[in-house]
Every structure is written in structure tokens, then in C-alpha cells.
Amino acid sequence: MRAVIPYKKENAKSRLSPILSRIEREQFVELMLRDVVFSLREAGVNNIDILATSEYRSLTDLNVNIVIDPNDLNESINQYLEKMDQPVLIIMADLPLARSEQVKNIISSSEDVVIVPGKGGGTNVLFIKNPSRFHVQYYGMSFCNHCAIAKDMQQSLRIYDSFLLSTDIDEPHDIVEILLHGHGFSLEYAQEKFELESGRARVKLTSIQ
Amino acid sequence: MRAVIPYKKENAKSRLSPILSRIEREQFVELMLRDVVFSLREAGVNNIDILATSEYRSLTDLNVNIVIDPNDLNESINQYLEKMDQPVLIIMADLPLARSEQVKNIISSSEDVVIVPGKGGGTNVLFIKNPSRFHVQYYGMSFCNHCAIAKDMQQSLRIYDSFLLSTDIDEPHDIVEILLHGHGFSLEYAQEKFELESGRARVKLTSIQ
């Protein structure tokens, strides 16, 4: 099997701009990517492709295969899948809470397709045993799209229930989850910049001055 | 073992007031409670206590034990736990995505304490094998509180990773998750009132006129 991580660094995570500058966001996405790669390796996944929009020299030490495709996410993943003759795990780069335990559970599933829903109808992880016969349709209600695609193709489907993997880091309040449940580089980075403020209601994020 | 569900109906879920009237919110919390009770029963949990702030006649048909305690959540649960000589599952009433599979997994854990974190540092489910020796501390960073309490008491701890159980229904966008991943009465209610609007970004909720 192989894992593929779609990755774009330029002006990444614009919804975090109220709390992180462009340079900081570009640093941060790379650290999140590094945590995802770490958890994949820890789960025994050694064939890792990063599907990048352009060449990123800073990733050289990661020792992964960089596939450059400037196309749209759906187009580039579908082109990637077409050529694949082995199971593929598509995992997003903004899932720094991913741990090896969840990755291991997903890739050892007996079903043909495993979908890990994200908040708000997204698809955060997709494991496809017969990738050349599958196609992805991200954006919008992609969770429903991918369930329907698997069904249309008569592939058996598992919906994998994980809070850690449902938590993609998009908005400032998502950083709270890194501080509470994170690890690795992204936790270290978040701890340098933010702290939690706890009242009676939900925990809030404040910047460390 | 017993399950206990803290429940308050009066002016419940005020953060949903932009989209549901007070009467609707009071109907809705009861339907969510009914879905939680259904999933508990389906998981084989038959001893169910509802820890209510006052008497609710509409719950009579649920065939559960109603414990009335007008006190604060922490105070009432701690008084409840003190008297318990069997394992207790504390599950919140606003978790309509709870399914029997997750409940079964939690109550069959070998650890002394199982904590299911909610978004933003909350504790959505707490399974305590030795309840008379435990105490709860909800609100704010309760997930951290409960981890620390278990550790202080030298109880073995499992953090249970579940998107469905991490999703407590507090804000309008949480209703999206009911429409996507829900079941039972709360799904039916949400479908009567709302529909999903899907663009390129995250799914949005719109009211059915």
C-alpha cells in the first residue's frame, strides 16, 4: 500500500490569518505535515507520496516521494489514483492529531473503502483498496460524495469514527484541540504561540505575547 | 452497571436560539435525550437514570428512573456517584449521534475510567468503574480535570476517540452533523426544519421555509 498526502504551502490556511501571519501559517502547515508523516511511519506506512502543488526543498529531509501536480485537488488525486495498482490511503496534511493507532486500524480494515468524516461533511482520510476503479470528489459534501461513489462501485464501506481524525485544523478554535490532544511539532509550535483560557464555558485560545 | 444522563429542559440550548425558538429547543433536547436512551438500550444498558433538574411528565413512557436534583451539574453528579457501588456511565443528553457500538466499546473497556472528550476541552462521556471514589468537575477544561482526577486516584485511564461522541449539539453548525451522521428522532426533527447547502467550502445549514 501507499499513502498520499495532498499538500499546498503557499498562503495556506487563510482562515487562521486572524491569529497567524502568512509566514507563520506556511511554517505551521509544514509542521502539521511532518506530524502526519511521523504517524504514518509509526504505523508502518513507508511508501509515502506528497502530492504537492510545487517543489518544496524544505521537505527533502522527510525522505518521502514528492509528486508535483499544480492541478486542482480532485484532478491531481484522480490522476494519481488512475495509475495505482495497490491500496492507497489519502490523508490530509492538516490532521496533526492523527496517531499511528488510528492509521493502523484504518489500513487493516477488511472493507474495500474506509472513509473518515471530517467536521461539516468533509472527508479527512480515505482508504481505497482498488484505487484505479475509484475517483474522488472533494469540496462541499465530500463525505456524502465518497459514500455514494463507493456504493455505486459496489465496494464495501466502513465509516471510521474518530475525533482525532475528524479534527482538521482550519479555524483558530481548532488550535485548542492541538493544545489539548496534539503531539509532535504542531503541539510544540502551538504551545509557543498560544495558551488556553478556561472559564465555565468552552475553552478559549489566547495569544502568548 | 448503570447509566446516568444529566438533563435540563427549561430554556435548554440557548446557543441554538438563532435558529430554534425556546419551545422548539425544549422539544429538540427531549428528542436528543430519547435517541441517547435508545442507543443505551440497544447496547444492552437497561439501568438508566435521568438526573433531572425537575420532574418531566413527558418522559414517563421512556421507562427510566428519574432522579430529581435541582442542584448544579457537578454537585448533583457527585452526590449521585457517592452512593454508587457499581460502574457508572455518565453520558450527556445532547449526544444524539451516540450509537450502541460506541457505548458497547466503552463499557467493555478494561480500564478503570474511560473519558470521551468533546470539542473544546469538554467531557462528553465518562465511564467510571469505581464511582464512589471518583468525583467529577465539569465546565471549562473538564477533559483535563477528569484525566487529572483519574491519575490522582491511580485509576487506569482510556481516552476513547470518537467523532460521533465528541459532537455535542450546542451551536447551529452542529445540526449539520445530525443531518449527515444522525439517526432517530433528532435526525427526523432536523430534517423537518433544515437542509444542507453545499458549496465548495464546508456545508451550511439553511432553514426550510
Contacts of B196 in chain A (CB under 8 A): 121, 141
Buried b (16+ CB within 10 A) or exposed e, A74-108: bebbbebbeebeebbbbbbbbbbbbbeebbeebbe
Could you tell me if A132 and A81 are in contact, meaning their C-beta atoms sit under 8 angstroms apart?
yes
State whether A140 and B165 contact (CB < 8 Å): no
Closest Cβ–Cβ partner in A143, A177, A198 for B140 = A198
State whether A121 and B165 contact (CB < 8 Å): no
Q: How far is CA B174 from the centre of its chain?
A: 14
Give the chain A residue whose CA is nearest to the CA of B166.
A163
- Can you read off the three cell numbers belonging to residue A166? 475528524
Buried b (16+ CB within 10 A) or exposed e, A59-72: beebebebeebeee
Residue B52 has pLDDT above 70, yes or no: yes
Which of A19, A179, A182, A15 lies closest to A95 in space, CA to CA? A182
* Confidence at residue A205, expressed as pLDDT on a 0 to 100 scale: 80
State whether B203 and A119 contact (CB < 8 Å): no
Q: How many CB pairs under 8 A join A and B?
A: 79
* Confidence at residue A111, expressed as pLDDT on a 0 to 100 scale: 98
- Residue B83 amino acid letter: K
Compute the distance between CA of residue A190 and CA of residue A179 in angstroms, rounded to an integer. Answer: 7
Closest Cβ–Cβ partner in B162, B164, B203 for A121 = B203
3-state secondary structure chain B: CEEEEEECCCCCCHHHCCCCCHHHHHHHHHHHHHHHHHHHHHCCCCCEEEEECCCCHHHHHHCCEEEECCCCHHHHHHHHHHCCCCCEEEECCCCCCCCHHHHHHHHCCCCCEEEEECHHHCEEEEEECCHHHCCCCCCCCHHHHHHHHHHHCCCCEEECCCHHHHCCCCCCCHHHHHHHHCCHHHHHHHHHHEEEECCCCCCEEEECC
* Confidence at residue B182, expressed as pLDDT on a 0 to 100 scale: 98
State whether B121 and A161 contact (CB < 8 Å): no
Give the chain A residue whose CA is nearest to the CA of B118.
A163
Residue A20 to residues A16, A35, A209: CA-CA distances in angstroms?
Answer: 6, 19, 13
Task: Read off the pTM.
Answer: 0.95
Which segments in chain A show pLDDT lower than 70?
Answer: 199-202, 209
Q: pLDDT tens, B91-149?
A: 999 999 999 999 999 999 999 999 999 999 999 999 999 999 899 999 889 999 999 99
Give the chain B residue whose CA is nearest to the CA of A122.
B202
How many C-beta atoms surround the C-beta of residue A209 within 10 A?
A: 3
State whether B177 and A144 contact (CB < 8 Å): no
Length of chain B as a residue count:
209
Q: pLDDT tens, B54-99?
A: 988 899 999 999 999 999 999 999 999 999 999 999 999 999 999 9
* Confidence at residue A161, expressed as pLDDT on a 0 to 100 scale: 98
- Can you read off the three cell numbers belonging to residue A6? 495532498
Q: pLDDT tens, B151-168?
A: 999 999 999 999 999 999
Compute the distance between CA of residue B190 and CA of residue A62 in angstroms, rounded to an integer. Answer: 46
Q: Would you identify the CATH topology of the domain B2-207?
A: Spore Coat Polysaccharide Biosynthesis Protein SpsA; Chain A (3.90.550)
| Whether CATH 3.40.630.10 fits A2-168 | no
* Confidence at residue A208, expressed as pLDDT on a 0 to 100 scale: 78
Closest Cβ–Cβ partner in B121, B161, B181 for A180 = B121
Contacts of A140 (CB under 8 A, 6+ apart): A121, B198, B199, B200, B201, B203
Closest Cβ–Cβ partner in A121, A141, A203 for B141 = A203
Give the chain B residue whose CA is nearest to the CA of A116.
B163
Chain B closest CA to A102's CA: distance in Å? Answer: 9
Note the ipTM here. Answer: 0.94
* Confidence at residue B205, expressed as pLDDT on a 0 to 100 scale: 80
State whether B165 and A163 contact (CB < 8 Å): yes
Chain A closest CA to B63's CA: distance in Å? Answer: 30
Q: Which residues of A touch B (CB under 8 A)?
A: 102, 117, 119-122, 139-141, 143-144, 161-166, 173, 176-177, 180-181, 196, 198-203
* Confidence at residue A202, expressed as pLDDT on a 0 to 100 scale: 61
Give the chain B residue whose CA is nearest to the CA of A119.
B177
State whether B199 and A163 contact (CB < 8 Å): no
* Confidence at residue B114, expressed as pLDDT on a 0 to 100 scale: 98
Task: Assign B192 a pLDDT band (cuts: 50, 70, 90).
Answer: very high
